[in-house]
Structure 1
Amino acid sequence: MKGARIRRQRRAQPNWVARLALAAIAALLGYVSVMQSLALVLPNSRIEEAYALAPGNGHVAARFSQQLSGPEASPQDRARAVAAAHEALRHDPTAVEAVATLGLDAMLKGDEPRADRLLAYSQRISRRDLRTQLTAIELAVARDDIAGALHHYDIALRTKKDAPGLLFPVLASALGDDAIRTGLVRTLADRPIWALDFVRYVARSDADPAAAAAFFRALTAQRFPVPDSASSAVVNKLLAGGQFEDAWSYYAVSREGADRRSSRDPSFRSIVETPSVFDWVAMSGTGLATALVPDPANGLFDFTVSMGNGGILLQQLQMLPQGDYILEGRSSGIEQLSESRPYWTIRCRNGQEIARVEVPNSSQAKGRFEGQVRIPANCPVQTLALVARSSDDAGGVTGQITHILLRPAHAHRT
């Protein structure tokens, strides 16, 4: 009996050893799996810690190489980045970040053929790696290949949500270069998904407004729909900078039928989402309620001024050449004493008033009014404005302007 028990124990011992060995292997594999998982979820700010936990993980090693090879990397960091990139690719040949690291290193060393090969490989793996596209842009710029650079800008802006914040400022600042601007117009003519966002960015950015106007003018020639808000922003920036001729030149392109020799939109028919100062601009203020009511047939300007208040109600910037003009218009709903009726004024840029035309009560001459204006040579920029006088009437002043036109004296009446 005792011998049989000993034999059973001897047979069982290898089974326990095997089980313990399997348990140890399972624990080790579990530990490795946990470390790998932890390394994968650690943020980029802790990528070095992740790399220490899982140096054999190709994705982690590739991310580590990417961080080490940043724009401010020292030669030692770049060397470590290259080593990490090679290690990453040994474990994972599709680690695109590692390929981009090696491509950037080759470019910095002036080895363009190798950089081209690595970037081509990276593009085959994935077009979504931003650093690959940035490196490709740098290579194209170094070769003066504008079309190639814009191609990679397009890829980056199509595939990465955070690319506009990085790339839009660079593109906007380059609009002063005729060749780059022409290339951008060709790119946007194909209507990429980022096109309108870029146009809006240019309008609100610090880009040279003259270059922005030239860019928008070229886009318009390609039948690209530049939004009113973007066009108006550029026109207003040009005017704020004293570039009046450039402002009018672009405005005349963006507003079909605009004529420098007369005011615009006499019957308030145009629907302008965001007006420039060359368009009608309704003013607001204490005690003033104004509204442009555009209509393709016959629009109007409506206003209400409460008792004791007054000021500019409506205005439009002009660049009329020197000469004699007629201001003509029609009103409705205006019934006030003469000292409370609104009037039209024309002032030079320096504030000098050169003409004033009273608006009579609408019951007179079917609301029509007219006045003569002379634009002197020293007044190249003028403001046409409707001004409300203060009234003691408890009901204030109300009314509508249904037509207003400032035209050359020799032109036919409308």
Structure 2
Amino acid sequence: MRAGLAIAAVVIGGYGTAFSIGQAVVSVNPTLAHRLVPYDGRTTAVYAASLTGPEASAAARAQADALASRALRQDPTAVVAASTLGLDAMIEGRKAIARQYFTYAQILSRRDFKTQLWAIENAVGRGDVRGALDQYDIALRTTARGGELFFPILASANATPEVRAGLIHKLVTRPPWGEGFINYLAGSGLDARPAAALFMGLRRAGVVISPVAQADVIEALINGGFTEDAWAYYASLHPGVDRGHSRDPHFAANTDQPTPFDWVAVNTDGISTSIQGGAVDFTVPASVSGAMLRQVQLLPPGAYRLSGHSLGIVQEAEALPYWTLICGSTGRELDRVDVPNSATGSGRFVGGFKVPANCPVQVLTLIARPSEATGGLSGQFDTVELVPAR
């Protein structure tokens, strides 16, 4: 009796060990896993799935189907077996059979990737936009690389008004992938107009769009040449804003994600610029020159007056900073306004620009000239404003 128990323990122990090893290697080597545990339905299903696909031969698919059928007999909940049979049927044009197997697979689990792809294609084939987006939603919730796989497809499809309406309907429910998709769309490099339309629709529905995404979509619109759309979106964020003059004259916006229509601090080549506490501070190392601050304008043709107030600027005349207005379409400089030392005129300065009719977009930029002073150039502006000349 004791010997019998000992032998039984060895047999049961060996069975358990083989099963554990088989489960451990099934995703790495499904063939070996099946050899170790040929009685396990889920392992058989994975082995069957490894033999088939669009490039597999008819003989390989037949073997995969036989194994998948065996897997379902071994374990009726082996979802991979059901989706394998569905995939092979779809490849061979047996659509009704494919539907049966994939529908069964969906009943078993919504985490099987092949099944979700079929469900998406099935809904698309029926022209069911909402149904397709429901399936994308499930796939994005259950697939580890869902964003990488599906965001490009959804971003491209967003150009279709019907799809965009469905996306708004879905994103209003705040799915876990929603913010990631919104940020992806804003920086996708696609035509930014559909993205802006989506964001406007979401905002009307009460969905908060991140400052990063809003700044990205406005910049993308400008870079794409859609400056009127960019301004319309910006104006929707800032009711009452006037394109006839610069914005935020006292540097009070205090945003970490400025759009091109806001003051944008430039920090390159050793130049350090920051906007805080109602002023812009800048520090430039000796002998370094370049842009320190900029703001995109959409000024109508005409004459404009630039005025402002500086603090702490002490330089030789040839090293003083200046403001320039550049035509955005050609890069042509329209004019310059030199900034005097802050001790001159109590730090106040004034100058003018003329905007021609063939320059619809301009960039107001603060430029540092190279300084030979040991400490380089430093200072502060607490007021800068560009307005129509009276």
Equivalents in 1 of 2:58, 2:221: separation in Å?
46
**CA drift at 1:76:** 2.8
Q: What is the aligned residue count?
A: 389
Residue 407 of structure 1 corresponds to which residue in structure 2?
Answer: 387
Q: Is the 8 A contact 2:326 2:333 kept in 1?
A: yes
Asked if 1:379 corresponds to 2:359, the answer is yes
Task: Give the letter for the 1:177 counterpart.
Answer: T
Distance 1:344 1:358 in 2: 6
Equivalent pair of 1:107/1:139 in contact (CA under 8 Å): no
- Give the corresponding residue for 1:8: none
| More displaced 10-residue stretch of structure 1: 33-42 or 53-62 | 33-42
Equivalent runs, 1:56-95 vs 2, <5 Å = 56-95=39-78
Kept in 2: contact 1:313–1:385 (CA 8 A): yes
- Residue in 1 aligned with 2:168? 185
Going from structure 1 to structure 2, the CA distance change for 1:305 and 1:167 (only over 3 Å counts) comes to closer
**Does residue 340 of structure 1 match 2:319?**
yes
Bigger mean CA deviation after superposition, 157-166 or 360-369: 360-369
The equivalent residue for 2:111 is 128
Structure 1 segment 308-319 matched on structure 2, within 5 A = 308-319=287-298
- Measure how far apart 1:258 and its partner are: 4.1
Partners of 1:222 and 1:78 in 2: CA distance: 49
CA contact (8 A) 2:320 2:338 kept: yes
TM-score (norm 2): 0.88
The residue aligned with 1:273 is 256
Kept after mapping to 2: 8 A contact 1:287/1:310: no
TM-score, normalised via structure 1 length: 0.83
Distance 1:179 1:398, change over 3 A: same
Q: What letter corresponds to residue 353 of structure 1 in structure 2?
A: E
CA distance in 1, matches of 2:46, 2:240: 57
Counterpart residue identity of residue 354, structure 1: L
Counterparts of 1:113 and 1:201 in 2: how far apart (Å)?
Answer: 37
Cα 1:200–1:72 change in 2 (3 A) is: farther
Percent of paired sites with the same residue: 44
| AA at the equivalent of 2:182 | V
Amino acid at match of 2:354: R
Which residue number corresponds to residue 3 of structure 1?
A: none
Q: Which has the larger radius of gyration?
A: 1
Shift of 1:364: 4.6
Q: Secondary structure at the match of 1:44?
A: coil
Cα deviation code 1:325-363 (max 9, x no counterpart): 222222222344544332211121323222222323434
Deviates further, 390-399 or 141-150: 390-399
For 2:158, the equivalent position in structure 1 comes to 175
CA distance in 1, matches of 2:268, 2:339: 21
Displacement of 1:229:
1.8
CA 1:95 to 1:286, structure 2 compared with 1: closer, same or farther past 3 Å? closer
Judging changes above 3 Å, is the alpha-carbon distance between structure 1 residues 66 and 262 closer, same or farther for their aligned structure 2 residues? farther
- Candidates 231, 250, 255, aligned match of 2:214: 231
Q: 1:149 aligns with which of 132, 145, 149?
A: 132
Structure 2: give runs of 5+ residues left out of the alignment: none
Superposition pairs for residues 360-375 of structure 1, below 5 Å? 360-375=340-355
Report the equivalent of 2:31: 48
CA distance in 2, matches of 1:285, 1:102: 58
Structure 1 position 372, deviation (Å): 2.5
Equivalent residues of 2:254, 2:275 under 8 A apart: no
> CA–CA distance in 2 between the matches of 1:48 and 1:407?
75
Letter in 1 for 2:289: G
Local SS of the residue matching 1:390: coil
Aligned position for 1:352: 332
CA distance, structure 1, for counterparts of residue 36 and residue 273 of structure 2? 68
Alpha carbons of structure 1 residues 107 and 272: separation in structure 2 relative to 1, 3 Å: farther
Bigger drift between 124-133 and 179-188 goes to: 124-133
Give secondary structure in 1 for the equivalent of 2:336: strand
- Deviation string for 1:56-79 (max 9, x for gaps)? 211111112332333433333332
Contact 1:56 1:87 in 2 (8 A): no
Query: Take 1:76 and 1:208, find their aligned partners in 2: how far apart are those partners?
Result: 46
Map Cα deviations across residues 62-119 of structure 1 (whole Å, 9 max, x no partner). Answer: 1123323334333333322222221111111111111222333444455555544444
Deviations 1:263-322 (A, max 9, x none): 2222212233233333222223445332111x4xxx110112344433322111222121
* Partner amino acid, structure 1, of 2:171: L
Which range moves more in the overlay, 99-108 or 56-65? 99-108
Give, in whole Å, the separation in 2 of the partners of 1:286 and 1:46: 53
- Looking at structure 2, the residues matched to 337 and 59 of structure 1 have their Cα atoms a distance apart, in angstroms, of 80
- Higher mean alpha-carbon deviation, 234-243 vs 122-131, is at 234-243
Does the 8 A contact of 1:278 with 1:317 survive in 2?
yes
Give 5+ residue unaligned stretches, structure 1. 1-14
